[in-house]
Amino acid sequence: MILLFLFLTLIIVLSYPVLAWKMFKALKTKDKPKLYRLSLILLILILIPGFYWKLLPGSYLFWNPIEKAEERSYNIELTGFEFNAGDLIYEYETERAFNGDGYSIWIYKIDDKTAKYFKNPKEEFFTKHPRTELRNHWEPEFWKETPFDKQEQKFLDFAHSTLDELEFELEDLLNEKGNYYAYEYYMHSYGVGNIDFYILCPNRKLIVKINHNT
């Protein structure tokens, strides 16, 4: 979907010089009705990408509730519990290739209510999640209690990142009692090719989300 809007935005931007030239001709010939029509079209074509990419003042007020609702829906698929993540305390992202290949890691705070729930989650947390629609063609590995099972090391190696500027590493979270981890993955012929890796830490009130595509 994002690639589609990038393509449409490119087409719209490329149309600006054409419209500007036609407006110049209309101005030169004093064709005011045509000049007004072209001006309106140009204004609309400027507003559409500005609104979608949140460049226009006030556009965030429209998109924020939608994004919050989408996040809650995604977290239900991820954990079986509806919540919104809090402050983003750590982020690292590489540039993405045209096909989405790249690496991202985000660490968010979770609120007291969410942390309390995950100290004793429902049984379906361990038997049905994560099962996200976005990754319905990937293999899920449902939530497990820490410490991390070393037999799954190849998945952690593929998802691993050093956490600069933080007082802990992923290994600390995965070896700390009371936490959980899960992942969804896709295998290539040579090994793990894509992964979404998650760590939930009720005591620290953190959730880690990692994506690595190759």
Cβ-count burial of 96 within 10 angstroms (0-12 exposed, 13-18 middle, 19+ buried)? middle
E strand spans, the chain: 88-93, 102-109, 139-145, 180-188, 191-201, 206-213
Q: What is the pLDDT of residue 98?
A: 75
For the stretch 142-198, pLDDT in tens is: 999 999 999 999 999 999 999 988 999 999 999 999 999 999 999 988 889 999 999
* 55: its two tokens: 């460049």
Residue 1 has pLDDT above 60, yes or no: no
Cβ-count burial of 144 within 10 angstroms (0-12 exposed, 13-18 middle, 19+ buried)? middle
Q: How far apart are the C-alpha atoms of 23 and 53, rounded to whole Å?
A: 26
For the stretch 13-62, pLDDT in tens is: 888 888 889 888 888 888 888 888 888 988 888 888 777 777 777 776 76
Query: Which 8-state DSSP code applies to residue 150?
Result: G
Residue 140 has pLDDT above 60, yes or no: yes
Partners of residue 108 on adjacent β-strands: 88, 207
